[in-house]
Each structure stands twice: as structure tokens, then as C-alpha cells.
Amino acid sequence: MAAENDWKKRLGVVYSTGDNYNYDTGESGDKNTLDPVNQKLIISLDKKQRKGKTVSLITGFIGKDEDLSELGKMLKKKCGTGGSAKEGEIIIQGDFRKRLTEILEKDGYNVKLR
């Protein structure tokens, strides 16, 4: 939701006071999901803003939110842990960088480990 309501994209826009007004940026919200071969995913370890807890962060996914959610669900299941998938990122609880790399490469994704 925050990505849809980015104020920087609306600089110089006159606003309406109507309750039902929604600014249209002209961008289509539905992106076509690229094939796994064309995806360039980056796996990194992250602790920022997570109260010291370690998570594996997968970024760079280009596609629909439903496909991102489905990929996140599959990865969480194969790692046997929790996490989430939103705003183009998949968060897997714990340090599963090696395992995630193996799983994604086996499925045909281009993966870079940071």
C-alpha cells in the first residue's frame, strides 16, 4: 500500500478534497511475472528493524503479488520456518541463504548471494 501512495511521484499535483478521489499515476498495478530464468533474485542476511532477529531477505522479484506470495509460501515450507512475502520482498526467518540459493537455482532462478 505504501508503494502505491508514494508522495514523491505526486510532487506538483493539485489535490482533491473529495473522499473518493484516488490519484492515478498512469502506471498499471499488474506486472507480468517474468520466467524464473529472467528473474535476478538477490539473497541477503538482514537484522535491521527486526529486534536483533536474523532473516534471509530475497529481493529483485518482478511480477504479480500473487506469484510472489506463492513463491514465498513454497520457500517457507521447504525451509520449515515462517516469514512473509510483500512489496517485492520475501522474508524467511533465520539464516537460510545457502538452502534458499539451492532451492531457487534448482527451480531455474538466477540467484546472487550477498
- Tens of pLDDT, residue by residue over 7-45, are 666 676 666 677 777 766 665 555 688 899 999 999 999
Q: Is the pLDDT of residue 89 over 60?
A: yes
What was the pLDDT predicted at 19? 75
Q: What is the CATH number of domain 32-113?
A: 3.30.780.10
CA distance linking residue 51 with residue 71, whole number of Å: 26
Q: What is the pLDDT of residues 40-70, one digit of tens each?
A: 999 999 988 888 899 999 999 999 999 999 9
Q: Where are the domains of the chain?
A: 32-113
Q: What is the CA radius of gyration of the chain?
A: 17
Strand spans (E) along 1-114: 40-46, 55-59, 83-86, 89-93, 110-113
